[in-house]
A and B are shown apart, each in its own frame.
Chain A
């Protein structure tokens, strides 16, 4: 199976400080970038020498990055790195002339939302044996192994900083539901969450908040929109909501789900792929099949009408969040790096 399942001890395979490059496609404040930057910080703390490569004019001041940033150059990078981690589609545009190992960090099925030529380029990369694929969920591992035929996969998961994301319960007059994700966006499918919120209102007086980088035309169904909130304000938004309504079609991992859990805000979500690694129906979240709007609505109504269920889910969610520190991801990354050095796959 995939490498994260190996019993090997990190102590035995750790090979000392490594020089590592992380190559970013952009620097927007979003989960797809904050996750690799959190990996960088976790690896830096362990003494690895990390350099982040980012596009010109990109700003990462929204993230407390503990590594230097270099601008992508037009020519292959001459400097030697033990490992290069390509984020997103950067592997095709930013070659390194001498790299010990090359890793692709796969955080979602980006190829499905791109034009055919780009799609083929991405799929070729995922199946190219020169790359070791770092995936954030078992769902993506199944895809790389089963559909792309590449056995060089490590599941590294994702993490949460529970010193930043923690619950802060406060009494509220009404239940508050949170929608997260850009609107409109085909994959995030926030329109379904808005429809659910509207239907919930026929049964319960609820307040509806939304958090996104872009949110076009909120309409009457959304009471408050947090547009591109500063990263230090995001935990506070989760803390003030009872449930996160997520209707994405596909999620590589579902970091917002984990962030919400850590803040005591319960994900009520479609079973959108990667979330199934840590979302467990009735334990820490409520889950419906993707697109099954009636079922998800049923879960929201059940959640709002049953205080025992809410309490049980909250306990489960907080316990789950504690299982996903960034250190766990750093362990998995070090195992992957060490596996590559030892010629393992």
Chain B
């Protein structure tokens, strides 16, 4: 398939969705598809000219883009004359209004909860979690301490301080992101950095706990590369069996922090059999699997 994906930036930097799209498009290319990027405000060709220059089979875009009426109009007209699929992705809540949903075949979302249940009653909204890239995120032997990477604006939230400030003060965790001394980690380097770390803290922000749940990309990437130390979300029950939950997910922030301290100091270790179970639990949770699912839905 030839796919046109809308993006906000040419390379992942400021927007979480561009990291997600990078991993999705790599997976689609590994499955034999061609994924073009279209950055509306910077592209040298207007959208109509670009659409007419290639025969696209699928347009894939964050539903947020469809808050723009001109774009909505172009896509509505285009799909009337060309046999094309349009799939939306709902990454941020609240969702855009009705007209955005009418131009898409269906919408995928990594969210599960009250809001998405309500939307699913009105529109064709399908749960498709985020994932890891089986090319970029691989387990290797660990050597360094614990590392937290939050490349996007998320770590400006006070929740980050609740989880991390104490640990940063104690030098129990090294943090990378806009709010920290080290500002950015290239997504092509992230996997090997994670894989070299003794443990990998992860948490979800409070706004992600108000009736709607998501498993962030870090959840998948850290578990795939190293020893994750997660907060707790009910969605984790769908991935980890109880034996894994008690070793890798901690609802209590204090226990979460102590786990990081202990893994970092070597006071606690994780048995290789448990790591094997962790790896087994992640099978079929790569972006390649997710994209296969998305394409299956189009058939």
- Give A residues with C-beta under 8 Å from B: 109, 112, 142-143, 147, 186-187, 189, 192, 195, 199, 202-203, 249-250, 271, 273, 287-295, 297-298, 301
Contact = CB atoms under 8 A, between A and B. Distances in A.
Chain B interface category by residue count: 20 to 34
Contact of A189 (B22, B34, B44): B44
A292 B24 CA distance: 12
A291 B53 contact: no
Interface string B4-40: 0101001110000000001001100100001111110
A195 B55 CA distance: 28
8 contacts: A112-B49, A142-B55, A195-B10, A202-B189, A249-B43, A249-B44, A289-B29, A294-B187
Contacts of A291: 7, 10, 36-39, 43
Given A289-B35, A301-B188, A294 B22 contact: yes
Contacts of A189: 44
B25 A293 contact: no
A83 B226 CA distance: 69
Contacts of B25: 289, 292, 294-295
Interface of A: prevailing SS: mixed
Contacts, number: 76
B45 A249 contact: yes
B210 interface: no
A155 B176 CA distance: 53
Contacts of B44: 186-187, 189, 249
Nearest to A192: B10
B27 to A, nearest CB: 11
Interface of B: 2-3, 5, 7, 10-12, 22, 25-26, 29, 34-39, 43-45, 49, 52-55, 135, 186-189
Given A290-B37, A291-B38, 12 more contacts: A112-B45, A112-B53, A189-B44, A271-B36, A288-B35, A289-B3, A291-B37, A292-B5, A294-B11, A295-B29, A297-B188, A298-B135
B26 A294 contact: yes
Pick from A143, A287, A289, A293 the residue with the most CB of B within 10 Å. A289
Nearest to B33: A289
A199 B187 CA distance: 11
B291 to A, nearest CB: 13
A289 B37 contact: yes
B188 A203 contact: yes
Contact of B35 (A109, A112, A195, A292): A292
Contacts of A298: 26, 135, 188
Q: Which 6 A-B pairs have the closest CB atoms?
A: A291-B37, A186-B44, A289-B36, A289-B35, A294-B22, A290-B36
A293 B25 CA distance: 11
Contacts of A147: 52
Contacts of B3: 289
A89 B3 CA distance: 32
Nearest to B19: A294
A255 B5 CA distance: 27
B38 A199 contact: no
Nearest to B12: A294
Contacts of A195: 10-11
B157 to A, nearest CB: 26
Nearest to A185: B44
A182 to B, nearest CB: 13
Nearest to B186: A202
A224 B187 CA distance: 29
A298 B26 CA distance: 9
Contacts of B39: 291
Nearest to A292: B37
A273 B22 CA distance: 22
Pick from A142, A250, A271, A298 the residue with the most CB of B within 10 Å. A298
B50 to A, nearest CB: 8
B11 A293 contact: yes
A288 B11 contact: no
Contacts of B34: 271, 287, 289
Contacts of B36: 271, 289-292
A290 B54 CA distance: 10
Contact of A295 (B26, B38, B186, B189): B26
A164 to B, nearest CB: 32
